Structure formats: C-alpha cells, structure tokens
Amino acid sequence: MFGVKEKKNLPGQVKEHKGKDLRIHCKNSSFGGPSLKDYIEERAIEIANYIVKENATVRQTAKKFGVSKSTVHKDVTERLCQLNPMLASQARKVLDVNKQERHIRGGLATREKYRHIHQR
C-alpha cells in the first residue's frame, strides 16, 4: 500500500522465500572468492604492466584483456593512480607517446591499404 516502506535486507543477510534460505550477495561480500573491487584493482595493475612492458596501445591492450578501450583508459588514468602512482605514471607516458604517434600510424595504414589496392 501507499506510504508503507518495504524492509530492505542488508548485504549478507538471509532472506527466506517459501521455506528456503536465499543468500543476498553484494559485490564486496566474502561469500565466494575475491570481491569485484579486488578483481578490478588487479586488472588495472595487470593492464598497466602490459602497456609498459609491451609499449602497447589502448586498442591492443583492450583486445588482449577482453575489455573495452574505455575500461583500459579508466583503469590506467583513474583507478591506478590510487593503487600505484609510479606505475600509473609509466603507463601514462606510454599512452601519451602513442597518442602523439596516432596520426602517423593511421597515415601509414592508409598508405599501405592503397598501395596494396593499386598493386593488383
């Protein structure tokens, strides 16, 4: 009815439904393995290490880790700064160089494309 608030369960509480216990999971609960936050932090560090080691672009990194380019960028520019500022700085330098060279790589790719087409 109107004006009646439904009681909400807090994360980790047990809710009963038809005589069965239903566990309510939250992203930071300790019910099964590492939390989602831990996974994201580990991924951010792995991504940055890959970028620095391989001198990789955002697109190459996204493909390697199976995430979007936006996720790679957010992991390196926002999340990693809080976790490991030194690694974040190194990865940022690689990404900045890649960004400066982007127009050159694009031009070379276009040149190769048309060179290949005209050789036929």
Whose tokens are 């880790």? That residue is 65
Q: Is 10 part of a structural domain of the chain?
A: no
pLDDT for res 68: 95
Give the rounded distance of the alpha carbon of 30 from its chain centre. Answer: 22
> How confident is the model at residue 14, as a pLDDT?
46
pLDDT in tens, 15-64: 455 555 444 444 444 445 667 788 999 999 999 999 999 999 999 999 99
- Is 84 within the bounds of a domain? yes
12 domain residue, yes or no: no
Tokens of 23: 């566990």
Contact between 28 and 11 under an 8 Å Cβ cutoff? The reply is yes
Nearest to 91 by CA among 67, 56, 63, 119: 56
**pLDDT tens column, 63-114:** 999 999 999 999 998 998 999 999 999 999 999 998 887 767 667 677 777 7
In a domain, 91, yes or no: yes
pLDDT at 115: 79
- Residue range(s) defining the domain that contains residue 76: 34-118
Looking at the 3D structure of the chain, how many domains does it have? Answer: 1
- Checking if the pLDDT of 119 tops 50, the result is yes
For residue 27, tell me if it sits in a domain. Answer: no
pLDDT of residue 12: 46
59: in domain: yes
Joined tokens for residue 118: 């005209």
- The whole-number pLDDT of residue 24 equals 41
Q: Nearest CA to 61 among 39, 91, 81?
A: 91
Q: Please check whether residue 69 lies inside any domain of the structure.
A: yes
* DSSP result, 38-87: HHHHHHHHHHHHHHHHHT--HHHHHHHHT--HHHHHHIIIIIHHHH-HHH
**Does the reported pTM lie above 0.85?**
no
* Of 9, 13, 66, 20, residue with least CA distance to 43: 66
Q: Is residue 20 part of a domain?
A: no
Question: For position 120, what pLDDT does the model report?
Answer: 62
